[in-house]
Amino acid sequence: FGAATTLDLYLPAGGRRAPAVILVHGGLFQSGDKADFQAGAARLAASGYVTATVNHRLAPGAPFPAPVRDLGCALAFLRRGADDYNLDPDRIAVVGYAAGATLSAMIGVAADADDLAPDCEAGRSGPPAAVIASAGLYDLTTLADKRDVQAFLGGTLADLPDRYTQASPLHRVTP
């Protein structure tokens, strides 16, 4: 779905149009793999959900906003392929844990932001129908001393104060 990204699809039996779930791995923005959610994806598919596990670009080689753009590409790819995969493009949830929760929250609150526009052929497709973000980092300005956060953002808070705010889902929430 993108030049540097991959996903695995788990399809339910039954042949009916189904809601979909995208699972986003954790790993402090620098590690992790879609295989981390293999068992969970298989259970969701057995329960009637089209499920995708996603690999996104990792820091430090691909700092923010690259992983958020990758998640937007995955969402757009699934929506574009809704007929092929027999999924309901209006009922796609994104679920993430830890760093994956941060990315999931960001796509939930800022999918239409110009600075996060997907950089893939599928393009922009809007926010998911739902987000479940567990144990994420939602205000990166409060974690500026953490090397993992600095790697994800490509520098320190002193060097990149705007990027720390832009990469924090909390600072993207609007009424």
Instruction: Indicate whether 1 pLDDT > 90.
Output: no
**Is residue 9 classed exposed, middle or buried when 0-12, 13-18 and 19+ CB atoms within 10 A define those classes?**
middle
Helix (H) or strand (E) segment spanning residue 82: helix 82-85
* pLDDT one-digit tens code per residue, 25-48: 999 999 999 999 999 999 999 999
Joined tokens for residue 112? 């239409």
Are 12 and 48 in contact by the 8 Å Cβ rule? The answer is: yes
Instruction: Indicate whether 4 pLDDT > 80.
Output: no
Are 122 and 107 in contact by the 8 Å Cβ rule? The answer is: no
* pLDDT one-digit tens code per residue, 75-117: 999 999 999 999 999 999 999 999 999 999 999 999 999 999 9
pLDDT at residue 8 in the model: 97
The pLDDT > 90 percentage for the chain reads 91
Helix (H) or strand (E) segment spanning residue 89: strand 87-97
